Amino acid sequence: MKFSGFVLAALLSLALIPAGFAQAADEEQQARLAEIKQRIDTLQRELNQVKGERDQLLKDLEANEKDISELLQRIDKIKADMKSRGDKLQELKQEEKQLEDSRRSMQRRVEQEVAAAYRLGRQEQIKLLLNQQDPQHIARQLRYHDYFLKQRSHVIDEYVSTLDQLSTVSSGIQREQDTLARERSQLEEKHRALASAQKNRQRTLDKLASQLASKSGELDQLNSDRSRLQRLVDEVGRAISSLINPSDQTPFAKQRGRMQWPVAGRRANAYGQRRANGISWTGVTIRANEGNPVNAIHRGRVVFSDYLRGHGMLIILDHGDGYMSLYGHNQSLTRAIGEWVERGETIAKVGNTGGMSQPGVYFEIRRNGKPQDPTGWCRG
C-alpha cells in the first residue's frame, strides 16, 4: 500500500521539528500533515468498507458516536465560553459599582461647587477689586479665586469622565448579558441534539446486539475488530519505523514500571485473560467516569487520532524505538496527528464509543506492533 511510504516521508520531515515547535510548522509541513490525514482517511474508508448488514450497522454506529463526540465538544466549548463571560460580567459589575460610588461622591462635590458659584455670583473678580484697597491683598485674592475656578472645573470634568466610563461599562454589561443569553439558548439546543443522537445510538446498538446474539457472531466481530486494529498499527508502525526522536527524549524502555496509568479507575480485565469466546485480551480496559481526562503515559508524537470501528475514538502515540501506546473508546480526542505531547498531558476524555456499554478506556502498549503487558510498565 502506498499509504505507509507516503506517511514515512512526511513524518520524517516532522521529526526534525523540536517538540515545542510542532504548532509552528511552516505551510509546507502543514500541507504534508493535511495529506497524511487524507491518506489515513483513505485507509479508514478501506477498513470500513460496507460488506453486509452488520457492517452497515457499524457504519451507522460510527456516525452516531461521531455526532455525539462532536456535540459534547461543542457543549464543553460553550460552557467554557459561558464561564469566561460570566467571570467578565462579574468584573464589569464590580467596576460599575465602584464607578457608581465614585459618581455619587463626585455629584455631591459638584453640587457644592455649583452652590458656591451661585452664592458668589457672576461678578466675583469685579467684587474683589471693588471691595479691597491693598493691591497686594487684591493680587493674592485674585490668585486664590483663579485656583478655586480651576479646581471647580477639574471636579466637573472628572465627574463627566466618570459618567462616560459608567455608560461604557453599563453597555459592556448589557452586551455580555445578551451574549450569555444566546449561549444558553445554543447550549439547550445542543443538549436536545445530543439526546436525539444518543437515542439513535441506542437503537443502533440494539440492532447490533440482535445481530451478535450468537457466539459465532460475536467472535466474528471481535476477530474483525482485532484485525482492523492490527492492520492500522502495522501500517503506522512501518510509516514511523525510521523516525529519529529528539535527543532529549527519555527512552521509553527506561521508564518500565515507573509510568502512571492513563486514567484512574478499576481495571475490568487483565492482560492475556481469556474471554468467554476464547479470545485473549491484548490490553486492559479501565473503567472510569465519562468525561474524565485521559493522559499520555510518556512523551510522544500523535500518529493516529480518529474513529476506528470497534475501538471508537482512538488515539495512538509513538514513543520511539518501536514503542506505541493506544487509547480507545474515548468520548473525544483533544490532540491531532503530528502533535507532540508530554507525559501526563491530556490527550482525550473517557467515553464509551465503539459500542461500549460502560464508560472506560481501552489501553494497550505495543512494541514493533506486538502487544505488551501494561502492568509491567505502569505502576499502581
The pLDDT tens digits of the residues spanning 30-72 come to 565 566 666 667 766 666 665 555 667 777 777 878 888 888 8
pLDDT band at residue 276 under the 50/70/90 scheme: low
Q: Supply φ then ψ for residue 8, to 5 degrees.
A: -60, -45
Non-local (6+) Cβ contacts of 291 within 8 A are 72, 331, 349, 350, 351
Count of CA atoms in the C-beta half-sphere (13 A) of 16: 7
Q: What is the CATH number of domain 214-376?
A: 2.70.70.10
What is the spatial distance between Cα 378 and Cα 363, in angstroms, rounded to a whole number? Answer: 11
What does the pLDDT average to over 179-184?
A: 81
Considering 7-11, 182-186, 315-319, the range whose residues carry the highest mean pLDDT is: 315-319
Residue-by-residue DSSP string for 211-261: HT-SHHHHHHHHHHHHHHHHHHHHHHHHHHTTPPPPTTPPPGGGGTTTBPP
What is the spatial distance between Cα 285 and Cα 261, in angstroms, rounded to a whole number? Answer: 11
**pLDDT (0 to 100) of residue 233:** 86
Q: Which of 63-72, 131-140, 263-272, 293-302 has the lowest mean pLDDT?
A: 131-140
Q: Which of 140-154, 214-228, 258-272 has the lowest mean pLDDT?
A: 140-154
Residue 374 has pLDDT above 90, yes or no: yes
Residue with grid cell 467516569, as numbered in its chain:
289
Q: Which of 9-18, 38-47, 262-271, 277-286 has the lowest mean pLDDT?
A: 9-18
- Copy the grid coordinates of residue 312: 471508537
Residue 264: helix, strand or coil by DSSP?
coil
Helix (H) or strand (E) holding 157: helix 135-211
Indicate the DSSP class of residue 175: H
**pLDDT (0 to 100) of residue 329:** 94
Residue 353 has pLDDT above 80, yes or no: yes
Residue 17: helix, strand or coil by DSSP?
coil
What is the spatial distance between Cα 119 and Cα 233, in angstroms, rounded to a whole number? Answer: 92
What does the pLDDT average to over 158-177?
A: 77
- Copy the grid coordinates of residue 91: 468584573
Residue 361 has pLDDT above 50, yes or no: yes
> Residue 201: which of 310, 331, 336, 355 has the closest Cα?
355
Q: Which of 61-70, 142-151, 153-162, 295-304 has the lowest mean pLDDT?
A: 142-151
- Copy the grid coordinates of residue 137: 491683598
Is 233 exposed, middle or buried (CB count within 10 Å of its CB: 0-12, 13-18, 19+)? buried
Residue 296 has pLDDT above 90, yes or no: yes
> Residue 334: which of 292, 354, 303, 305 has the closest Cα?
305
Contact 363, 374 (CB under 8 A): yes
Residue 14 has pLDDT above 50, yes or no: no
Q: Which of 109-118, 128-137, 306-315 has the lowest mean pLDDT?
A: 128-137
Q: Which amino acid is at 28?
A: E
Percentage of the chain beyond pLDDT 70 is 67
Q: How far is CA 6 from CA 24, 141, 232, 238, 328, in A?
A: 22, 91, 15, 11, 25
Domain definitions of the chain by residue range? 81-198, 214-376
Residue 251 has pLDDT above 70, yes or no: yes
